[in-house]
């Protein structure tokens, strides 16, 4: 465990969080390299080393910085990107292009051109219009690309509606209607510019059940069998997505094997019965890699008590550095980092400094008696905090720090007020 309490102070991977706040300022995203390495090892132990012909592609949308992607690269993982910016970041981190997989539901022509030029390992086609667009780019550049089709299996998962991706009414993937899907498969098989490897699906995020994965898998295996019967096409790759849940408050996370072992067992049995070689199987963990490896430090500012209603504790960040509570009603745990051994004395609502009533980080949190200048650590903010940060109210985006065994270093420097003006222009029309 990378969290320790010593002398009333919170330590994270051997670093005194109050020292980190003094050195780097707040708000501050802090990541434990030890925790990240533990997750990489778990992926190898429970999946990659256990099952031959498998890959794990870290979903960069959860956290994308060159330093983080360098750690992913060195751990032997692939990376899943969904934009030209994420692709550029992966290349800057020294990722071999063949270990990059390009996903996303509306890839722009310039993004696909970059992907083709650099020779990324996979392009996951998300809509019918992407194949002819990609073919035209490949023809101009004289390159053939490996592709998968992302399909929508029509399976609902038990999570927030905004992070369900496998239901039929989704902006992601190709619907399973026979007159839509199979002509697309035929077109990719016949194309001289792409090599169709197989199918991709993703059912949702922050999941604690294996049922939705297995239900979606059955749907996709049906497509595999029908494609074999219709076209004599034997797929060589199956991507089962990610979405494995983590602990934010009182959830009980499952290991990678808990999800992936039954998936692998079913895949192996299916292809054995079909008389075909089992394809490569790929998973795309993101949140489960970085989520619990990160926390955010805030300095307490004003405190406002409304008699008979609520006590608000304001911090120097808010929805600009963690939009998830406002967007998904996400819940978190917090520790008073400089009063870590003191008993909880009050129930408060921790709010940010943005001009929005919805700028609430924690509602009804039990904490020690707080005062201005105290340091608050919000746990499990490693996924989609920095990745979704914004400059709303012209607030600078916080710094990102990596810590390991008492040492620390910047992954991303803090934005300044001057940075906010760097791209501004006055056309004076």
Average pLDDT over residues 408-426: 97
pLDDT given for residue 238 in this prediction: 98
Q: How confident is the model at residue 7 (pLDDT cuts 50, 70, 90)?
A: very high
More confident residue, 381 or 166: 381
pLDDT given for residue 308 in this prediction: 83
Cα–Cα distances (Å) from 32 to 132, 173, 313, in that order, read 43, 34, 27
pLDDT given for residue 118 in this prediction: 98
Q: Which residue has the tokens 């490569």?
A: 280
Do the beta carbons of residue 200 and residue 148 sit within 8 Å? yes
Q: How confident is the model at residue 328 (pLDDT cuts 50, 70, 90)?
A: confident
Is the pLDDT at 323 greater than 80? The verdict is yes
Q: How confident is the model at residue 218 (pLDDT cuts 50, 70, 90)?
A: very high
pLDDT given for residue 159 in this prediction: 44
Q: How confident is the model at residue 1 (pLDDT cuts 50, 70, 90)?
A: low
Average pLDDT over residues 388-403: 98
Average pLDDT, the chain: 94
Is the pLDDT at 51 greater than 80? The verdict is yes
pLDDT given for residue 169 in this prediction: 62
**Token pair for 327:** 């967007």
| Residue 412 CB burial class (10 angstroms; 0-12, 13-18, ≥19) | middle
Q: What is the pLDDT of residues 100-136, one digit of tens each?
A: 999 998 999 999 999 999 999 999 999 899 999 999 9
Element (H, E) at 238: strand 237-239
Over pLDDT 90: what percentage of the chain? Answer: 90
Kindly list the structural domains of the chain, giving each domain's residue range(s) and its CATH number in brackets, ordered by start: 3-31+293-421 (2.40.37.10), 51-287 (3.20.20.10)
Q: How confident is the model at residue 400 (pLDDT cuts 50, 70, 90)?
A: very high
Is the pLDDT at 291 greater than 60? The verdict is yes
Most confident of 103-107, 215-219, 286-290: 286-290
Q: Is the dihedral of CA 305, 311, 313, 319 positive or negative?
A: negative
Q: What is the pLDDT of residues 134-193, one digit of tens each?
A: 999 999 999 999 999 999 987 654 443 433 444 456 677 888 888 899 999 999 999 999
Average pLDDT over residues 225-242: 95
Q: Is 80 helix (H, G, I), strand (E, B) or coil?
A: strand
pLDDT given for residue 168 in this prediction: 54
Whether residue 64 lies in the annotated active site: no
**Token pair for 67:** 């330093």
Average pLDDT over residues 57-83: 98
Identify the active-site residue in 64, 89, 354, 355.
Answer: 355
């Amino acid at each position: 465990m990378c969290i320790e309490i010593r002398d009333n102070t919170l330590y994270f991977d051997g670093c005194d969080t109050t020292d980190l706040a003094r050195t780097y300022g707040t708000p501050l995203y802090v990541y434990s390299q030890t925790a990240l390495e533990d997750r990489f090892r778990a992926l190898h132990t429970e999946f990659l080393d256990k099952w031959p012909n498998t890959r794990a592609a870290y979903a960069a949308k959860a956290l994308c910085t060159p330093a983080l992607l360098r750690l992913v690269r060195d751990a032997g993982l692939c990376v899943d990107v969904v934009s030209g910016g994420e692709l550029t970041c992966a290349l800057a981190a020294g990722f071999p292009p063949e270990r990059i997989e390009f996903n996303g539901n509306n890839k722009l022509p310039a993004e696909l051109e970059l992907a083709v030029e650099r020779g990324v390992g996979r392009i996951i086609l998300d809509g019918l219009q992407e194949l002819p667009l990609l073919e035209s780019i490949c023809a101009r550049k004289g390159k053939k690309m490996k592709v998968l089709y992302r399909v929508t299996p029509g399976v609902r998962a038990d999570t927030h509606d905004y992070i369900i991706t496998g239901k039929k009414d989704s902006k992601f993937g190709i619907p399973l209607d026979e007159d839509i899907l199979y002509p697309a498969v035929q077109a990719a098989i016949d194309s001289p510019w792409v090599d169709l490897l197989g199918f991709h699906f993703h059912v949702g995020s922050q999941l604690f059940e294996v049922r939705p994965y297995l239900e979606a898998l059955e749907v996709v295996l049906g497509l595999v069998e029908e494609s074999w019967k219709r076209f004599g096409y034997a797929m060589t790759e199956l991507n089962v997505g990610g979405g494995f849940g983590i602990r934010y408050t009182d959830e009980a996370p499952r290991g990678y094997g808990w999800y992936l072992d039954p998936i692998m067992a079913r895949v192996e049995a299916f292809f054995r019965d079909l008389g075909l070689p089992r394809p490569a199987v790929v998973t795309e963990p993101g949140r489960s890699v970085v989520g619990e490896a990160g926390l955010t430090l805030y300095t307490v500012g004003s405190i406002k008590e409304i008699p008979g209603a609520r006590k608000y504790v304001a911090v120097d960040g808010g929805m600009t550095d963690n939009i998830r509570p406002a967007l998904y009603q996400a819940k978190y745990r917090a520790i008073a980092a400089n009063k870590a051994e003191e008993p909880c004395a009050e129930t408060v609502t921790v709010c940010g400094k943005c001009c929005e009533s919805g700028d609430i980080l924690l509602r009804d949190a039990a904490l020690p008696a707080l005062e201005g200048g105290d340091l608050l650590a919000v746990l499990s903010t490693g996924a989609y905090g920095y990745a979704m940060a914004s400059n709303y109210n012209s607030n600078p985006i916080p710094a990102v720090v990596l810590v390991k065994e008492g040492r620390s270093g910047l992954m991303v420097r803090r934005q300044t007020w001057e940075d906010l003006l760097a791209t501004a222009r006055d056309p004076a029309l």
